[in-house]
Structure 1
Amino acid sequence: MTDSRHISVLGREAIEWLAPRAGGIFVDATFGAGGYSRAILEVPGTRVIGIDRDRTAIAGGFDLVDRSDGRLTLVEDRFSNLAEVCAAQGADRVDGVVMDIGVSSMQLDQAERGFSFRLGGPLDMRMGQSGPSAADVVAKASEADLANIIYIFGEERHSRRVARAIVAARKEAPVTTTQALADIVGKVVRSKPNEIHPATRTFQALRIFVNEELDELHEALSAAERVLKPGGRLVVVSFHSLEDRIVKNFLAERGKASGGSRHLPEVVQAASSFRILTKRPVIPGDAEVAANPRARSAKLRAAERTDAPAHGEGGLPAWPTLAGVMRGG
């Protein structure tokens, strides 16, 4: 069932840390091109629940479903809903969850999806089939909201300058294509030779914001905590610092008992719900980066579920929300 065309970034390492075994139920929470699912299904007797919000990815996996002898189920949904997806498949508890965070190579390479400024296309960027597009956000968001979005999610230090340029440009004509936005950003953000394209951070910010990727990640990690059996493994591959920071902080919090307070001795300390397996993130080797430059920023973190109760979801950071920006609040 191996398919060399669909080798996931850090795929070998991810499967080693996931450690699939016969009879186990595993969740490929970001199915994409099915690289992790293929590798898991190589272990006889495993069952995989694959989740993806992208209908194109789900349709692309039908052939693998047919060849899996009933061991692969694909579900079109957000990976933040993985607990509900598992329950609907009769799997309230699972043996492993693997996640590959962010946009996929397939999505980047499809001009009509509007993820990349290197390919001319509509300014869309939606991983799913519904909700506001990047063009909608660019047209509707206030200058202050645009600056915050680009600064927080793109870590762009020229965010105010970019937001000002976008607002000025949209007064002249709607900004509806990837090329139009890239040109606007390129006029106010300069880059030196061998540096990333001036529009890279702005495009990253809009993509993350439109798809609510960081909120999704927060919720997906908590959902994985709830569904994993004691001894079950969580493996997460991320591609930039914002995602990795969320994963690192989540595991650090879950990997130690709550501190409690010496002033409130009656407060019961929550036991560690995860045992961290990767003290430092696993990164790709030189050969993988040479073969796939998109792998260069990847980091893998893994942890094993203990038998302690889940800690609960906790609050999300106070950053701009899609609903709030689109209603002008």
Structure 2
Amino acid sequence: MASFNHITVLLNEAVAGLNVQPTGTYVDGTLGGGGHSSKILGQLTTGHLYSFDQDETAIEYNQEHLKDALAAGKLTLVDDNFRNLQAALQARGVTHVDGVLYDLGVSSPQFDDAQRGFSYKLDAPLDMRMNQEQELSAMTVVNEWPYERLVKILYRYGEERFAKQIARKIEQRRAHQPIRTTFELVDVIKEAIPAAARRHGGHPAKKSFQAIRIAVNDELGALEESLEQAFSLLNVGGRISVITFQSLEDRLVKTMFREKSSLDADIPQGLPVIPSGMTPDFKLINKKPILPSEQELANNHRAHSAKLRIIEKIK
């Protein structure tokens, strides 16, 4: 069984944000190393937790790690992408929940296992699949997607200003031989970025690797679909806690939360008074994102870009 060396980010803050009721029904959309799940389970008496992960390694690890909760009937592990939240819960007889937690991005074990191909610091076959059963991998994206599509994902998902140069260099290199490993791709990216630009702003391949990973796993599409389902699954008083690690995810969550908690879209302009009954169905628990403490940042360098947003259903 794989080990899961993973320090859970914003553990106490994210679970506190759910305002866990001991008899409630909760969802951990991103099981990973089981940190958030363990914390939620510790607060349940007759309640139940459904923990999702599309990564078979995470499911296998937690079958042992959380075996007491499984044996007690307090936990159900769901081997599925959280974009299938509603269908997977309905298949288990669940139509409403009291809270959903998301800890987005790639877990430390996925990054640290060289063979998964997520890291530009470890040489491995180009893969980047969170669900290892799916067909689309980074190898396909890099070697088969056309120039225009590569430019689009590098700009959109990596916010990479040298997207065109990188896509063109990938196109030139793969015309001679396939780009098969992470280090081969890193070399191509370094060649494409001007030397002066490479001296600033961290590793030159960081943005491109993020972009390709998001494309391979359709991370933003999955998040948007899942959040829409979570909104409709919530009981009144139920909450959603979302931890993001990059600006695109945070922007999406911030926008969707703002839409749900404001009436701007629904109220005719020029009304002197908002009619009673016309209030949003949701309220923001924190207007500004909750950030890791100085102590957490010192203990876990992967917490640096984390942001937590929380919303509650109020009617």
The answer, yes or no, to whether TM exceeds 0.5 is yes
1:298 is aligned, of 294, 297, 306, to 306
Q: Does 1:242 align with 2:262?
A: no
How far 1:24 moved relative to its partner? 0.9
Give, as a single letter, the amino acid of the residue that structure 2 aligns with 1:240.
Answer: Q
Give, as a single letter, the amino acid of the residue that structure 2 aligns with 1:227.
Answer: L
Query: Could you tell me the percent identity over the aligned residues?
Result: 40
* Whole-angstrom distance in 2 between the partners of 1:92 and 1:259: 27
Give, as a single letter, the amino acid of the residue that structure 2 aligns with 1:290.
Answer: A
* Whole-angstrom distance in 2 between the partners of 1:202 and 1:169: 16
Q: Does 1:110 align with 2:117?
A: no
For the structure 1 residues 198 and 5, does the alpha-carbon distance in structure 2 shift closer, same or farther, using more than 3 Å as the test?
closer
- Partner deviation per Cα, 1:15-69 (whole Å, 9 max, x = no partner): 1111212111110001111111000111141311000111111111101442111
Give, as a single letter, the amino acid of the residue that structure 2 aligns with 1:62.
Answer: Q
* Whole-angstrom distance in 2 between the partners of 1:146 and 1:29: 29
Determine the structure 1 residue equivalent to 2:95: 92
How far 1:289 moved relative to its partner? 1.2
* Whole-angstrom distance in 2 between the partners of 1:253 and 1:44: 31
How far 1:117 moved relative to its partner? 1.2
- Partner deviation per Cα, 1:290-324 (whole Å, 9 max, x = no partner): 111111000000011122xxxxxxxxxxxxxxxxx
1:183 is aligned, of 187, 191, 195, to 187
Determine the structure 2 residue equivalent to 1:126: 129
8 Å Cα contact 2:291/2:306 also seen in 1: yes
Structural mapping, 1:74-85, within 5 Å: 74-85=77-88
Determine the structure 2 residue equivalent to 1:10: 10
1:221 is aligned, of 214, 223, 227, to 227
Determine the structure 2 residue equivalent to 1:63: 64
* Whole-angstrom distance in 1 between the partners of 2:281 and 2:135: 35
- Partner deviation per Cα, 1:160-214 (whole Å, 9 max, x = no partner): 0000000000011101110100010011224555731100000000000110000
Structural mapping, 1:168-317, within 5 Å: 168-189=172-193, 190=195, 191=197, 195-257=201-263, 258-262=265-269, 271-307=279-315
Determine the structure 2 residue equivalent to 1:157: 161
For the structure 1 residues 286 and 96, does the alpha-carbon distance in structure 2 shift closer, same or farther, using more than 3 Å as the test?
same
Determine the structure 2 residue equivalent to 1:315: none
* Whole-angstrom distance in 2 between the partners of 1:288 and 1:194: 26
How far 1:270 moved relative to its partner? 7.6
Q: Does 1:32 align with 2:11?
A: no
* Whole-angstrom distance in 1 between the partners of 2:151 and 2:6: 37
8 Å Cα contact 2:6/2:107 also seen in 1: no
8 Å Cα contact 2:292/2:306 also seen in 1: yes
8 Å Cα contact 1:65/1:73 also seen in 2: no
CA RMSD of aligned residues (A): 1.9
* Whole-angstrom distance in 2 between the partners of 1:239 and 1:173: 34
Number of residue pairs matched? 300
8 Å Cα contact 1:150/1:159 also seen in 2: yes
How far 1:81 moved relative to its partner? 1.1
SS class of match (1:132): coil
Name the TM-score, length of structure 2 as normaliser.
Answer: 0.91
Give, as a single letter, the amino acid of the residue that structure 2 aligns with 1:97.
Answer: V
Q: Could you tell me which runs of 5 or more consecutive residues in structure 2 were left unpaired when the two chains were aligned.
A: none
How far 1:271 moved relative to its partner? 4.9
For the structure 1 residues 222 and 139, does the alpha-carbon distance in structure 2 shift closer, same or farther, using more than 3 Å as the test?
same
- Partner deviation per Cα, 1:82-117 (whole Å, 9 max, x = no partner): 111221222211111000111111100111110001
SS class of match (1:61): helix
* Whole-angstrom distance in 1 between the partners of 2:95 and 2:140: 38
SS class of match (2:238): strand
Name the TM-score, length of structure 1 as normaliser.
Answer: 0.87
* Whole-angstrom distance in 2 between the partners of 1:61 and 1:83: 22
8 Å Cα contact 1:102/1:238 also seen in 2: yes
Give, as a single letter, the amino acid of the residue that structure 2 aligns with 1:52.
Answer: D
Determine the structure 1 residue equivalent to 2:19: 19
SS class of match (1:124): coil
Determine the structure 2 residue equivalent to 1:318: none
8 Å Cα contact 2:7/2:300 also seen in 1: no
Give, as a single letter, the amino acid of the residue that structure 2 aligns with 1:130.
Answer: Q
* Whole-angstrom distance in 2 between the partners of 1:31 and 1:248: 22
